[in-house]
Amino acid sequence: MLYHLLYPLHDRFSGFNVFRYITFRSAGAVLTALLVTFVLGPSMIAWLRRLKVGQHVRNDGPQTHLAKQGTPTMGGLLIVAALVSSVLLWSDLRNKYVWVVLFATLAFGGIGFWDDYLKVVKKRSTGLRAIQKFGLQIIASAVIGFFLYYNPGDPNSTSLSLPFLKRIFLDLGWFYIPFVIIVIVGSSNAVNLTDGLDGLAIGLVGIAATANAVIVYLGGNKIIAEYLKILYIPGSGELTIFCGALLGASLGFLWYNAHPAEVFMGDVGSLSLGGALGTLGVVTKHELILVIVGGIFVIETISVILQVGSYKLTGKRIFRMAPIHHHFEQIGWPESKVITRFWIIGIILALVSIATLKLR
Ligand code: 57M
């Protein structure tokens, strides 16, 4: 909004010329989202506590988690509020990619909110049934897939760029739509599974947002994209501002979700953030780099698939407990050590993902 209000005045006030720069507006988005979480955080946590929107902790998990019983959840409302308000304030609202990613954030956040509401407020322990939850996620991501398929922002709209390989793009044709569904629904649930330790998921989202900001900025700049031989998506550079807001909201929420957590994000947060990250990867055509950036989310999901598969097929567990963060808790690592070590790996993977842009 500020871009539309102030940039046109730059011929009268030359200082307003800065609003044309994505880097300036991205920095503004980080600080705005951070400020919104700090201003709203304490009162929202008190509000959730007053409403007794407390987490029910299963007793079959790590025993250390039982002390978390009753921690306010649905703090993802704070993340989404900070993220969306900052994006609306700093983005060029004529950019369709901004609205695509905002749609994903709000649609998946709405699904998560419904699930949380049923679990925490209506005391329905299972929340939404799996078929309902997955069905709604598939519909939301199909809307995105069809929109991108029929509104190509670029000639490569249904092609897939491959890490390490320059100028080789795989055209998926109509299969692009189910591909988009798989990426976004997978990403949303991967963050959901990862959100099982204080600050783990939100810290990794902040790392992914930072790496995505660099990748999206470079891929949205014609000169740099040409030099790096990566797909240039006209207009996608504007999503750098979304990544900045995502970083700011993540850092702000981490202030309260850090161990010992005062609040959990709930499915409203985890599904929303995962949906946003997946959509970012799809829109910028860096889906496969997303696998590297979000490597921990992938590992967590694979650990669950392996554990459930092995248990169903052989009755034996591969890990002490899945997702894998619980396995390390069960072998004696303190929660804060698991979290910090997973963040370290996340930072290394983020650096590798940025390096893949040059290693072609
Ligand atoms: C999302 N939710 C956390 C919180 C957060 C198939 C199976 C692997 C599914 C999986 C599952 O239920 N996943 C759902 C994980 C829960 O966190 C809430 O959920 C929101 C995110 N969706 O915002 O509101 C618990 O996580 C802990 N937590 C923190 N700090 C945080 O900042 O400590 C969350 C955020 C919270 C709190 O304890 O209660 C969760 O873990 O449920 N199931 C599991 O993850 C369970 N694993 C399991 O059943 N493994 C079996 C299967 C695979 C055969 C096995 O390995 O044998 C674990 N989860 C729990 N207890 N709570 C283990 C048992």
In sequence order, what are the beta bridge partners of 161?
A: 169
Angle at which helices 266-283 and 96-116 cross, to 10°: 150
The band of 153, judged by pLDDT with boundaries at 50, 70 and 90, is: low
The band of 33, judged by pLDDT with boundaries at 50, 70 and 90, is: very high
Nearest CA to ligand 1 atom 29: 197
Residues 290/141/126/59 CA torsion (nearest 10 deg): 0
For residue 351, report the distance from its CA to the centre of ligand 1, in Å: 28
Q: Which residue has the higher pLDDT, 124 or 207?
A: 207
pLDDT digits (tens, 9 = 90+) for 288-328: 888 999 999 999 999 999 999 999 999 999 999 999 999 99
Chain-centre distance for alpha carbon 323: 18
Neighbours of 50 (CB within 10 A): 9
Whether 181 maps to a domain, the answer reads yes
Whether 236 maps to a domain, the answer reads yes
Nearest CA to ligand 1 atom 14: 193
Mutate to test the pocket of ligand 1, among 117, 302, 304 (most ligand atoms within 8 A of CB): 304
For residue 93, report the distance from its CA to the centre of ligand 1, in Å: 37
Q: By CB neighbour count within 10 A (0-12 exposed, 13-18 middle, 19+ buried), where does 57 fall?
A: middle
pLDDT of residue 84: 98
Whether 5 maps to a domain, the answer reads no
Lowest model confidence (mean pLDDT) among 117-121, 132-136, 151-155 = 151-155
pLDDT digits (tens, 9 = 90+) for 46-70: 999 998 888 888 888 888 888 899 8
Are 298 and 279 spatial neighbours (Cβ–Cβ below 8 Å)? no
Q: Is the pLDDT of residue 360 over 80?
A: no
Residue 268 belongs to domain spanning? 23-355
Please tell me if the CB atom of residue 304 comes closer than 6 angstroms to any atom of ligand 1: yes
pLDDT digits (tens, 9 = 90+) for 93-114: 999 999 999 999 999 999 999 9
Whether 17 maps to a domain, the answer reads no
pLDDT of residue 204: 98
Rounded to whole angstroms, the Cα distance separating 88 from 217 reads 18
Number of domains in the chain: 1
Are 272 and 329 spatial neighbours (Cβ–Cβ below 8 Å)? no
For residue 67, report the distance from its CA to the centre of ligand 1, in Å: 14
The band of 229, judged by pLDDT with boundaries at 50, 70 and 90, is: confident
pLDDT of residue 27: 97
Nearest CA to ligand 1 atom 17: 196
Whether 69 maps to a domain, the answer reads yes
The band of 256, judged by pLDDT with boundaries at 50, 70 and 90, is: very high
Please tell me if the CB atom of residue 197 comes closer than 6 angstroms to any atom of ligand 1: yes
Nearest CA to ligand 1 atom 7: 304
Rounded to whole angstroms, the Cα distance separating 353 from 91 reads 25
Whether 127 maps to a domain, the answer reads yes
The mean per-residue pLDDT over the stretch 201-217 comes to 96
Q: What is the mean pLDDT of the chain?
A: 92
Q: How far apart are the first and last CA of the chain?
A: 38
Rounded to whole angstroms, the Cα distance separating 205 from 226 reads 28
> Sign of torsion, CA 183 328 343 203?
positive
Whether 143 maps to a domain, the answer reads yes
Whether 153 maps to a domain, the answer reads yes
